[in-house]
């Protein structure tokens, strides 16, 4: 199975690349995409700067030398970008960008593009879904699904599992913890695609679509989180309680 990590920066893609490399996946490339149709040259300059400044620069340079990094000069849905994607003959894309994908881009992958969403689908679609689940006393979690051109509306869910965030000291830390698990969840999802154990769960859109949580609601949710997830004696949260 030929995989591609779609990312805006190479350092952002490295944890996913390394997770798959350790698991023995070698037919894998990183595709660096402009954030927008007008940011191509600026993004290429940022990629070069980050290669020099980031602590993982040697790994980044190694990937470049091995031809594992493809840099798109145009937006993902630009005809030239679509032509490059088609020539790569990719099976699955792994989402790690800030981009919104049009159907023409999604169709460039034989099976589609996977997204590791930090909410349990189909119940939690949209924005701030981890915070909304905490506010409503429901588990946080991660869902890996094939996207479509809508907002968390792709029908095919491969994984949807609760994740324990009780060890986290704040909502911000909990959110970063969930984001850090995307590489592992992507690897597990791809393993399912390659096995005989695959059983789709349908994203039937029965849940709500959530929007960015207001500052007031966020503060209330933070206090609820601290109330229901106390740390062991001797472990303070420091300034985060102020």
Kindly list the distances between the CA atom of residue 155 and the CA atoms of 18, 122, 204, 220, 242, in Å, as whole numbers in the listed order: 29, 9, 7, 33, 42
Q: Are residues 24 and 105 in the same domain?
A: yes
Q: Are residues 77 and 148 in the same domain?
A: no
Asked which of 110, 131, 148 is the last residue of a domain, the reply is 110
Domain that holds residue 54: 1-110
From the CB of residue 124, how many other CB atoms can be counted at a distance below 10 Å?
Answer: 25
Residue 205's pLDDT is what? 83
Is 119:127 a contact under the CB 8 Å cutoff? Answer: no
Residue 38's pLDDT is what? 60
Q: Structure tokens of 54?
A: 């980031």
Q: What letter would DSSP give residue 32?
A: E
H or E element: which one contains 5?
A: strand 3-7
How open is the CA angle 129-130-133, to the nearest 5 degrees? 85
Distance CA 229, CA 225 (A): 6
Residue 197's pLDDT is what? 77
Which residues are CB-contacts of 21 (< 8 A; sequence separation ≥ 6)?
28
Q: Are residues 76 and 186 in the same domain?
A: no
Distance of CA 105 to the CA centre of its chain: 17
Residue 215's pLDDT is what? 96
Alpha helices in 89-180 (DSSP H): 103-106, 129-135, 171-180
Residue 242's pLDDT is what? 33
Residue 233's pLDDT is what? 53
CATH number for the domain spanning 21: value is 3.40.50.170
Residue 236's pLDDT is what? 53
CATH number for the domain spanning 169: value is 3.40.50.12230
From the CB of residue 185, how many other CB atoms can be counted at a distance below 10 Å?
Answer: 22
Asked which of 110, 142, 163 is the last residue of a domain, the reply is 110
pLDDT one digit per residue (tens) for the chain, 242 residues: 999 999 999 889 999 999 999 999 999 999 999 986 565 545 554 554 455 445 455 566 677 667 899 999 999 999 999 999 999 999 999 999 999 999 999 999 999 999 999 999 999 999 999 999 999 999 999 999 999 988 899 999 999 999 999 999 999 999 999 999 999 999 999 999 988 778 889 998 888 899 999 999 999 999 999 988 766 555 555 444 33
Pairing of strands 201-202, 156-162: antiparallel
- Give SS3 for 4: strand
What is the Cα Rg of the chain in Å? 19
Please state the domain count of the chain.
2
Q: Are residues 145 and 78 in the same domain?
A: no
């Amino acid at each position: 199975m030929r995989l591609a990590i779609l990312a805006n920066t190479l350092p952002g893609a490295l944890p996913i690349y390394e997770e798959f490399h350790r698991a023995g996946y070698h037919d894998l490339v990183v595709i660096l995409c402009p954030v927008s149709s007008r940011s191509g040259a600026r993004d290429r300059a940022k990629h070069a700067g980050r290669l020099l400044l980031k602590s993982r620069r040697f790994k980044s340079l190694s990937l470049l030398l091995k031809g594992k990094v493809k840099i798109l000069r145009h937006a993902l849905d630009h005809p030239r970008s679509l032509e490059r994607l088609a020539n790569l003959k990719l099976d699955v894309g792994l989402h790690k960008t800030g981009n919104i994908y049009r159907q023409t881009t999604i169709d460039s992958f034989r099976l589609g593009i996977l997204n590791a969403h930090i909410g349990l689908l189909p119940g939690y679609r949209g924005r701030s879904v981890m915070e909304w689940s905490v506010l409503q006393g429901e588990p946080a979690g991660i869902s890996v699904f094939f996207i479509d051109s809508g907002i968390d509306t792709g029908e095919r869910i491969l994984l949807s599992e609760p994740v324990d965030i009780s060890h986290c000291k704040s909502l911000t830390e909990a959110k970063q913890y969930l984001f850090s698990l995307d590489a592992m969840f992507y690897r597990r999802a791809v393993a399912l695609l390659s096995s005989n154990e695959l059983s789709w769960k349908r994203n039937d859109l029965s849940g709500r679509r959530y929007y960015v949580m207001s500052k007031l609601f966020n503060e209330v949710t933070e206090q609820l989180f601290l109330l229901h997830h106390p740390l062991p004696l001797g472990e303070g949260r420091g300034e985060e309680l102020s």
